[in-house]
C-alpha cells in the first residue's frame, strides 16, 4: 500500500520536473478559479443585501415625500383638479351622448 503511494508521488514529481511551467500554470489556474468563485459568492450576498437596503430606503423616501406633499396641500389640490376634470369630462360626454341618442 505504501509503495503505491510512493509510486504515485514519484510519477507526480517526475511530471512536475518534466513540465514545470505547466505545473505553475495549473496551480495559478486553480487559485484563480477558487478566488473567482469565492468573490462571486460574496458579490451575490452583497448584491442581495444592498438591494434590500435600497428598496427599504426608497420606500422610506416615498413615504416621507408623500407626507411632505400632503402637508403642503399639493396632493389635495391635485385630487381636486382631477375630480374637476373628471366631472367636466363626464358632463360633456353625457351631453354628447344625449345629443347622439336624440338624433337617432
Q: Specify if 68 maps to a domain.
A: no
Q: What's the rounded Cα separation, in Å, for the pair 11 and 16?
A: 9
75, 66 in Cβ contact below 8 A? yes
pTM: 0.41
CA distances from 15 to 4, 27, 30, 75, 99 (A): 17, 14, 18, 78, 98
What's the pLDDT score for residue 96?
79
Q: What's the rounded Cα separation, in Å, for the pair 54 and 51?
A: 5
Q: Specify if 67 maps to a domain.
A: no
- CA-based diameter of the chain, in Å? 109
Q: Specify if 56 maps to a domain.
A: yes
What is the pLDDT of the chain when averaged over all its residues? 86
More confident residue, 74 or 24: 24
Asked whether residue 15 falls in the same domain as residue 50, the answer is yes
What's the pLDDT score for residue 104?
67
Q: Specify if 45 maps to a domain.
A: yes
Asked whether residue 3 falls in the same domain as residue 44, the answer is yes
Least confident span in 7-16, 35-44, 50-59, 95-104: 95-104
Asked whether residue 15 falls in the same domain as residue 55, the answer is yes
Q: Specify if 39 maps to a domain.
A: yes
pLDDT average, residue stretch 20-32: 91
Enclosing H/E stretch for 73: none
For 81, the domain range is 73-104
| Confidence band for 60, pLDDT divided at 50, 70 and 90 | very high
pLDDT at 19 over 80: yes
What's the pLDDT score for residue 3?
81
Amino acid at each position: 500500500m505504501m509503495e503505491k503511494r510512493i509510486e504515485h508521488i514519484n510519477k507526480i514529481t517526475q511530471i512536475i520536473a518534466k513540465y514545470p511551467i505547466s505545473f505553475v500554470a495549473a496551480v495559478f489556474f486553480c487559485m484563480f478559479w477558487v478566488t473567482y468563485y469565492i468573490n462571486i459568492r460574496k458579490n451575490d450576498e452583497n448584491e442581495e443585501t444592498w438591494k434590500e437596503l435600497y428598496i427599504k430606503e426608497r420606500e422610506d423616501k416615498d413615504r416621507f415625500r408623500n407626507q411632505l406633499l400632503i402637508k403642503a396641500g399639493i396632493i389635495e389640490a391635485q385630487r381636486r383638479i382631477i375630480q374637476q376634470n373628471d366631472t367636466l369630462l363626464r358632463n360633456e360626454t353625457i351631453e354628447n351622448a344625449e345629443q347622439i341618442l336624440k338624433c337617432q
